[in-house]
Structure 1
Amino acid sequence: MVTHQVDEVPRPGPLVALGLQHVLAMYAGAVAVPLILGNAMRLSTEDIAYLINADLLVSGAATILQCVGVWRFGARLPLMQGCTFAAVTPMVLIGTQGGGLPAIYGAVIVGGLVLVLFAPVFGRLVRFFPPLVTGTVILIIGLSLLPVAVDWAAGGTDAADHGAPKHLALALGVLLFVLVLQRFGRGFVGRVAVLVGLVVGTLVAIPLGYQGFSEVGTGPLFAVSTPFHFGLPVFELTAIVSIAVVMLVTMAETTGDVLAIGEIVRQPVDGRRVADTLRADGLSTALGGVFNTFPYTAFAQNVGLVRLTRVHSRYVVAAGGAILALLGLVPALGRVVAAIPAPVLGGAGVAMFGAVAASGVQTLSQVSFTGNGNLAVVAASLGVGLAPVFVPTLYEQFPTWFQIIAQSGISVGCLAAVGLNLLFNGPTTRNGGVHNGLHSADEPR
């Protein structure tokens, strides 16, 4: 019996090397969510490091579950898992408006369980998320995150010299370095341009007087993320609703990625496989809420890496998951990442989040805007979704529960795009149902 390439297990040496390549390709995006949330909530370096290591540990476990599979959980395809950017804005709102991390984790646990229960149903709802909707939502995600990167580039919100020329010069230098690597770096170097930019930018920042590395050597070298480290979860209805809306975006992202990887490795992806993939996402998300991390989805840049390398083995990506889990057991590594100067993060962030927005444009490029109302759908959804980004005080006069939901441009933009698409195009659009291209909001290509 001939073994399909997806089920082949390479020798130990190539298995580890190829798995490490997947880790390097997604690492910068993998740690971005805890960094954004930790800085927005003004957590200590120690707490941010804890979030990063918890994220890496669960990302690794989620990847192994998705690739290897257990019962009806997992696609059994080469899919790398990481925290979704789609949840960043609502989680920041939940965390900074009195709920704190316990309220975030309560909503994440419920959101994950809802995803597990809705997985079979979503296979029949995919027609409501054609490229018109998914492209618009991804564009909103990228544009709504760009102000975060610009603030980092200026030195960070709390910096006494916010906007100082040296901050902006360092951020610009990192951005240009990343772009040069992406333009002229061949193969592997080009794919890890963001990670290399972070490393080089940090090394340049140290002699320039940037501090923050004094705590790197403190604390344990090895540790395990324990359940409910930041307190028992709090279940607030508004927070749960906000994260539940994000789960719809996550389901659309993951569905597109599993369809894409199925085409690349020549494995059929039917409704059952889509449901198994989403169940694994949901279980990983629920476990994330228990182990101090966030919602999970497939990372599209790793799908692209599978296409580029033509290495189709799911066990290679599972090996990458094992490496991620091991990194999550080394808090010292998390403290190093948490100490990266804000302007360095800002330069890399502009590249990352701009690429997210660009991937939304790429998805929309496959949509027809002639003789239909699709342009109105995109325009109105962008307006509604980005309104609270442009005017952060827009909903200050509304109740807190409304602010948590409406202040998230991603959630509101998603609902608007789905509703307007139904209004103009009906449940089945001329533009194609499920989008089979690579379209994740969680990582630049």
Structure 2
Amino acid sequence: MTSEVHPVDQRLPLRQAGPLGLQHVLAMYAGAVAVPLIVGGALKLPPEQLAYLINADLLISGVATLIQCVGVWRFGVRLPIMQGVTFAAVTPMIAIGTAGGGLPAIYGAVIVSGLLVILVAPYFAKIVRFFPPLVTGTIITIIGLSLLPVAARWAAGGAGSPSFGQPRNIALAAAVLLVVLALYRFAPPAAGRVAVLLGIAAGTLAAIPLGFTDFSAAGRADLVGISTPFAFGLPTFEATAIISMCVVMLVAMTETTGDFIAVSELTGAELTGRRLADGLRADGFSTALGGVFNTFPYTAFAQNVGLVGLTGVKSRWVVAIAGGILVLLGLVPMLGAVIAAVPQPVLGGAGIAMFGTVAASGIRTLSRVDFRGNHNLVIVAVSIGVAAIPVGTPGFYEHFPSWAKIILDSGISTGSLVVIVLNLLFNHLRLAQRTS
């Protein structure tokens, strides 16, 4: 008698898994390359060094994804999780780099912070018992709501674009969204599972004659490019830089835990304390590896959580294939240039469906929570409200100290911390319980 294979562990035929994996890469590509572009631009790096940062980022993103999905000993959550550079590190890395330390000081801090995560992961994982559906549903909802503005910016043309907000950008995004919806409604189930990929492909093809993009850069890109350790010099270790990056990684651990919880809810796979520790430990290892190979701190990518929910494909091996594709993109810059040519409005149309699915999944989880005769409604309301502050008003914490802004500027981090604390205060501490 054979036991049934859990959907997370199912291995799909390559003809199905390949397009599904590519779909995950397209969903996270813009976010994956944004951090090296922002940091490299702030440090005024020349174009060839910027390209080098992007290739290194894609390579280690792929390696980190493979470790997370496949698992190596006690490293890897073994769930369908995509890894990418965390946006929480952008501001402190720019501060470290522009203060005179440059990339070597950034990489020194990244290596130390990654090692810290490896050490504290088992202790951080012990809080998983304080994540009932009240907490997990709120965190998942916050992740979805926090990502929707990202999709909106993509749909408008991409932040900083000269054509931002032009009707033609929004029309293209709307057309992609309609294609995705039509495929889900009318196409056979096999096509429905890759509806996002087909929508992105159709949108990109339509965008070429309309002048949204071209693939000429792919012809100019190098065929092969290999990231070598410490290409920008040996790392330096400065105390203030290390402290700020360690704070960033504690924030990233909170966000990663939220993503693990969301995927666990979507796939039906139990997130045990050991499994959470293994996933966080993989984050730390990938971050330290990133510091060696000229890239930045890594975390789970919430963008792809929505794709798991939207497609219903729960296999970690599909996402492992996406990790393999990222490795290829990191080694073959020409392939990366092709993916980079996908217009932002096309990604925006697909992103609205994906990120909305994350929020809807959180609401579905909250539907299992009892809101009668307790403080649960207040906990959810305040947590979502606090999380919405930096999303709706980005400059709200502008005059706070830089160490505080690392946490407060992330709606996912602040909302997650608030719901955890309020749940402890109202539902676990004896002093908070009413006596009969």
Q: Give the match's secondary structure for 2:82.
A: strand
Q: CA–CA distance in 2 between the matches of 1:278 and 1:403?
A: 23
State the partner residue of 1:240.
Answer: 246
Q: Which amino acid aligns with 1:23?
A: G
Asked if 1:295 is matched to 2:298, the reply is yes
State the partner residue of 1:121.
Answer: 123
Structure 1 window deviating more from structure 2 (32-41 vs 410-419): it is 32-41
Determine if contact 1:54/1:293 at 8 Å carries over to the other structure. Answer: no
Q: What's the offset of the Cα at 1:308?
A: 5.7
Q: What's the offset of the Cα at 1:27?
A: 2.0
TM (normalized to structure 1)?
0.77
Determine if contact 2:140/2:258 at 8 Å carries over to the other structure. Answer: no
Q: CA–CA distance in 1 between the matches of 2:130 and 2:75?
A: 24
Q: Please show how residues 160-175 of structure 1 align to structure 2 within 5 Å.
A: 160-175=162-177
> Residue 391 and residue 412 in structure 1: after superposition, are their counterparts in 2 closer, same or farther (change >3 A)?
same
Q: Give the match's secondary structure for 1:125.
A: helix
Q: Which runs of 5+ in 2 are unaligned?
A: 431-436
Q: What's the offset of the Cα at 1:91?
A: 3.3
Determine if contact 2:375/2:426 at 8 Å carries over to the other structure. Answer: yes
Alignment counterpart, residue 410 of structure 2, candidates 388, 405, 408: 408
Q: Please show how residues 178-189 of structure 1 align to structure 2 within 5 Å.
A: 178-189=180-191
Q: Please show how residues 310-321 of structure 1 align to structure 2 within 5 Å.
A: 321=323
State the partner residue of 1:398.
Answer: 400
Q: CA–CA distance in 2 between the matches of 1:42 and 1:205?
A: 28
Per-residue Cα deviation, 1:294-340 (whole angstroms, up to 9, x for no partner): 4243865787799868xx8x777756644543343221121122222
Q: Which amino acid aligns with 2:251?
A: V
State the partner residue of 1:219.
Answer: 221
Q: CA–CA distance in 2 between the matches of 1:153 and 1:315?
A: 30
Determine if contact 2:80/2:318 at 8 Å carries over to the other structure. Answer: no
Q: Which amino acid aligns with 2:206?
A: V
Q: CA–CA distance in 2 between the matches of 1:67 and 1:147?
A: 28
Q: What's the offset of the Cα at 1:387?
A: 0.9
Q: Which amino acid aligns with 1:125?
A: I
Q: Give the match's secondary structure for 1:223.
A: coil
> Residue 355 and residue 48 in structure 1: after superposition, are their counterparts in 2 closer, same or farther (change >3 A)?
farther
Determine if contact 1:388/1:409 at 8 Å carries over to the other structure. Answer: yes
Q: CA–CA distance in 2 between the matches of 1:40 and 1:353?
A: 23
Q: Which runs of 5+ in 1 are unaligned?
A: 429-445
Asked if 1:24 is matched to 2:35, the reply is no
> Residue 413 and residue 272 in structure 1: after superposition, are their counterparts in 2 closer, same or farther (change >3 A)?
closer
Q: Give the match's secondary structure for 1:344.
A: helix
Q: What's the offset of the Cα at 1:205?
A: 1.1
Q: What's the offset of the Cα at 1:208?
A: 0.9
Q: Please show how residues 52-91 of structure 1 align to structure 2 within 5 Å.
A: 53-66=55-68, 69-74=71-76, 77=78, 79-83=79-83, 87-88=86-87, 90-91=88-89
TM (normalized to structure 2)?
0.78
| RMSD over aligned Cα atoms | 3.9
Q: What's the offset of the Cα at 1:392?
A: 1.9
State the partner residue of 1:435.
Answer: none
Q: Give the match's secondary structure for 1:221.
A: coil
Structure 1 window deviating more from structure 2 (228-237 vs 413-422): it is 228-237
Q: What's the offset of the Cα at 1:3?
A: 10
Q: CA–CA distance in 1 between the matches of 2:129 and 2:95?
A: 35
Determine if contact 1:68/1:318 at 8 Å carries over to the other structure. Answer: yes
Q: What's the offset of the Cα at 1:164?
A: 1.7
Q: Give the match's secondary structure for 2:278.
A: helix
Q: CA–CA distance in 1 between the matches of 2:362 and 2:53?
A: 28
State the partner residue of 1:249.
Answer: 255
Per-residue Cα deviation, 1:3-55 (whole angstroms, up to 9, x for no partner): 9968xx999xx764455255135223342422443566685987776566445
Aligned-pair identity (%): 50
Per-residue Cα deviation, 1:332-384 (whole angstroms, up to 9, x for no partner): 12112222222222222222222222232233222222221111111111221
Structure 1 window deviating more from structure 2 (31-40 vs 137-146): it is 31-40
Q: How many residues align?
A: 413
Q: What's the offset of the Cα at 1:99?
A: 4.9
Structure 1 window deviating more from structure 2 (343-352 vs 199-208): it is 343-352
Determine if contact 2:116/2:284 at 8 Å carries over to the other structure. Answer: yes
Q: Give the match's secondary structure for 2:219.
A: coil
Determine if contact 1:16/1:319 at 8 Å carries over to the other structure. Answer: no
Q: CA–CA distance in 2 between the matches of 1:69 and 1:254?
A: 15
State the partner residue of 1:146.
Answer: 148
Q: Please show how residues 423-438 of structure 1 align to structure 2 within 5 Å.
A: 423-426=425-428
Determine if contact 1:139/1:360 at 8 Å carries over to the other structure. Answer: yes
State the partner residue of 1:433.
Answer: none
Q: Give the match's secondary structure for 2:75.
A: coil
Alignment counterpart, residue 281 of structure 2, candidates 279, 282, 288: 279
Per-residue Cα deviation, 1:70-100 (whole angstroms, up to 9, x for no partner): 443345x5x3441269x43x23444566757
Determine if contact 2:24/2:319 at 8 Å carries over to the other structure. Answer: no
Structure 1 window deviating more from structure 2 (172-181 vs 240-249): it is 240-249
State the partner residue of 1:439.
Answer: none
Q: Which amino acid aligns with 2:250?
A: A
